Amino acid sequence: MNGNRSAGHAGWAMIGIMGLALVAGNVARAHCDTMDGPVIQAAVTALERGDVAHVLKWVPASDEPAIREAFHLARQVRGHGPAAWELADRSFFETLVRLHRESEGATYRGIQPAGTPVPAPVARADKALEEGEVDDLARRIAALVESGIRERFAKAQTAAASMDESVEKGRAYVDAYVEFVHYVKAIHDLAQGHGPHHGHGSESPAPAHSH
């Protein structure tokens, strides 16, 4: 029994940051458009070394020609002085980040300054990768998911006890029921790999039926 429960927790942990992204929306992807985020840091390295390969992983194959062209132009313009250098880099950063965010289905908001706050789940995910240890993150996410399910279950169960007393209480039950079921389904879909992801060139999942 404990083994099954541990396996279940591990499965929930796999949805980690994506699960919280359902709540946080695009903000969970905010570090991808900051000056000190991984996308622009890769762009800086590419420009310094003259090798566009450093950034191609951040865009789908269909956008590779556009990135190669923007990179080539930036390298050319850089040779026309400090002002041109800065403008060329900025233009390349903007093109790269815009196409990257479009591939995620996220809105391009422009380049955010260095030091822009990163949502806690994203910071923890980055830290886990840097340190090569994910146990603490997995436990935190598993606890949040379990708490969210239990809270919505209790609300729906309580509402069910009085749902036939009046139309208003019936509607309150339906609201609680829908919230509980949709929450569980969203988490389950993410755990099964059917939720938001950063995969490039993959097909979008079919829309889920809703109540």
Q: Taking the C-alpha atoms of 120, 122, 128 and 129 in order, what is their torsion angle to the nearest 10 degrees?
A: -160
Q: Taking the C-alpha atoms of 90, 53, 27 and 86 in order, what is their torsion angle to the nearest 10 degrees?
A: -10
pLDDT-derived band at 83, boundaries 50, 70, 90 = very high
pLDDT-derived band at 152, boundaries 50, 70, 90 = very high
In whole angstroms, how far apart are CA 79 and each of 83, 87, 88? 10, 11, 10
Q: In whole angstroms, give the CA distance from residue 132 to residue 121.
A: 16
| Nearest to 197, CA basis, from 7, 55, 6, 29 | 29
**Mean pLDDT, residues 162-180:** 96
